[in-house]
Each structure stands twice: as C-alpha cells, then as structure tokens.
C-alpha cells in the first residue's frame, strides 16, 4: 500500500529494484526532475502504486512500481 510498507516486506529488494527502475525511466524520458522549490511554493504530492504481475501459472513474473 505504501513505500514504507513495501520496504518492510521480505521482497523489499524486489520492490526497491522496481522503484529504482521506475525513477530511471522517468529520468530517461525527462518526465521527472528534482528541483528546489521557489520561496512560498509547495510541491504537489505523489504516491507509489505497487503491483505484482503474475503469469498464466500464477507465478510472480514481475514486481511493478509506478510513481504518480
């Protein structure tokens, strides 16, 4: 449900790899950039969405993380 929860699970290395991949893609596509906020401004909130992709045999194929 949350980044903190994902990092407390046994699969935390898989979730961390998924979040790193997502942020790398944002950087490569130019859709995300960390900048300092101008004085008197507030940032928009974002959140992580986590999903486990499964194959036809119901085995885990991929850990997927999206930052929205």
Domain-by-domain residue ranges, the chain? 3-29+46-67
What is the pTM for the complete model shown? 0.76
Digit-coded pLDDT (tens) for 10-65? 888 999 999 999 999 998 999 888 889 999 999 888 899 999 999 999 999 999 99
Instruction: Mark 24-62 as b/e (b = at least 16 C-beta within 10 Å).
Output: eeeeeeeeeeeeeeeeeeeeeeeebebeeeeeeeeeeee
């Amino acid at each position: 449900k949350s980044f903190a929860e994902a990092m407390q699970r046994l699969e935390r290395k898989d979730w961390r790899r998924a979040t790193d991949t997502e942020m790398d893609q944002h950087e490569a596509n130019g859709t995300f950039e960390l900048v300092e906020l101008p004085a008197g401004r507030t940032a928009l909130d974002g959140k992580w969405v986590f999903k486990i992709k499964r194959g036809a045999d119901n085995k885990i194929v991929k850990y997927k993380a999206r930052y929205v």
